[in-house]
Structure 1
Amino acid sequence: MIYYEILCYSCKKTFKVYEGSLLYKQFKERKSRIFCCDDCSHKIRMDAIKNFFRYLK
């Protein structure tokens, strides 16, 4: 299976992006774009949701 190894901009670890995934397609089209791994992506998303609901009160 074909994959790219990409450096996560948040935790600075390398992770693999396999052919057929959305990140693979995005990386292949624009190599200068910033990418993050699944763990960091989930953490960033949860922080954004928490902050959103904090300002609704």
Structure 2
Amino acid sequence: MFYYEVLCYSCKKIFKVYEGSPKYKQAKENKIKVFCCDDCNHKIRIEAINNFFR
């Protein structure tokens, strides 16, 4: 399986983006240079939901 190693802008860790995912296509085409790993993406989403209901 093909993959790209990209840097998470939140936690600054390198993670793999595998072929077939939307992030892989974006990394391959260099449309977006800033990526967020799944763990940080989940944390940011939960925080946004919690702040919405306040």
Q: Shared fold (TM-score greater than 0.5)?
A: yes
Query: Contact 2:17–2:24 at 8 Å: present in 1 too?
Result: yes
Q: Which has the larger radius of gyration?
A: 1
Q: Matched residues, percent identical?
A: 74
- Could you tell me how far apart the structure 1 residues matched to 2:3 and 2:17 are? 5
- Aligned ranges 1:7-46 → 2 under 5 Å: 7-30=7-30, 32-46=32-46
User: Deviation digits for residues 6-50 of structure 1, max 9, x if unmatched?
Assistant: 010000000000111111011112255310100000000000000
Q: Where does structure 1 lack aligned partners over 5 or more consecutive residues?
A: none
Give the RMSD, CA atoms, in angstroms.
Answer: 1.2
TM-score (ref. length: structure 2): 0.90
Structure number having the greater helix percentage: 1
